Structure 1
Amino acid sequence: MTILKSIAVIFVGLSGGIAVGIGFVAFLTVLGIIPRLTQLTKTGEYIHVYEWAVIFSVVLASFADLNNISVPVGAAFLIPVGFASGMFIGMLAAALTEVLNVLPIMSKRIGMDGMLITLLMGLVLGKLVGSLFQWLFFANY
């Protein structure tokens, strides 16, 4: 029974990680954040550098988080990092307004025309149930 539980935990962990990774990539792709950054900064020839920076930072941060690695740095280093993080979150928040334009098109394509409120409530309730499940059952981890 222990082997079966271990296999189930591995399966759920990998599935969750893949789902989150795919969601993150789809989110960045749909919003077009990297091409817009290169467009705004007029650095289109460096688009591959932007892409690799995102990939490298996600992999590095995931590795550090999974292995409980922390780097003691001073406030002088944290201020620019916080500023850059704030700019990225601000761009994501601004780009989210465009995602709302995608939902009516998606509802028509999946055959839920006229049921946009149902689709939105499904998304909200799914997020709510998933968050509660994580907080109530995995709060100590």
Structure 2
Amino acid sequence: MTTIEVVFTLFIAFSGGLAVGSGYVAFLTVLGILPRLAQISKTADKIVWYEAAIILGTMAGIYGGLRDPVLGISPYFLLIMGLAGGIFVGLIAGALAEVLNVIPILAKRLNIDGKIIVLLMAVVFGKIFGSLFQWLYFIRQ
């Protein structure tokens, strides 16, 4: 790899990191996801712990993405970690949907005001089938 290719690759990686990081920070701050989640769960006095968890989780995700570590832990513990991760993603998605009032707006735009439950079930089953496809597809490889 030539020097210009290395510099170009570093520039692209740095630019991508800035774009993703800016979107992540905007998601958490501008939309007020964290304060709303703390308010709903009645744990506003522990907001510092939320912040520390987000920073440590981001750092662990970056490390895991770059190094592809092998943890060597029990599959049962991995099930618990997967469940906790799924709950977290669900909470964030629920908080985002509540903040933006996505579902009523989407139902109105699709002219299915009286059938919001159908829209919700489509989102739920889409997420389930998408996750199953991802897990089963990567397990077979």
TM-score category (smaller protein):
0.5 to 0.7
Deviation track 1:113-140 (CA, whole Å, cap 9, x = no partner) reads: xxxxxxxxxxxxxxxxxxxxxxxxxxxx
Q: Which runs of 5+ in 2 are unaligned?
A: 103-141
Partner of 1:41: 41
Q: 1:96: how far off?
A: 4.0
CA RMSD of aligned residues (A): 2.1
Cα displacement (A) at 1:15:
0.6
Matched position secondary structure for 1:42: coil
> What per-residue deviation string (whole Å, max 9, x for no partner) do you get for residues 36-79 of structure 1?
22212222121011111111111112112201212121133123
Take 2:77 and 2:45, find their aligned partners in 1: how far apart are those partners?
28
Q: Which residue of 2 aligns with 1:70?
A: 70
Letter in 2 for 1:87: I
State the Cα deviation string for residues 64-112 of structure 1 (Å, max 9, x = none).
Answer: 22012121211331232122211122123324434476xxxxxxxxxxx
Report the CA distance shift for 1:68/1:62 in structure 2 as closer, same or farther (over 3 A): same
Q: Given the two structures, how large is their TM-score scaled by the length of structure 1?
A: 0.62
Mapped contact 1:38–1:44 kept (Cα < 8 A): yes
**TM-score normalised over the length of structure 2:** 0.62
Identity %: 41
Which is bigger in relative contact order (C-alpha 8 A, separation at least 6)?
2
Show the counterpart of 2:83.
83
Give the 5 Å matches for 1:3-42. 3-42=3-42
How many residues align? The count is 101
41-50 vs 73-82, which deviates more?
73-82
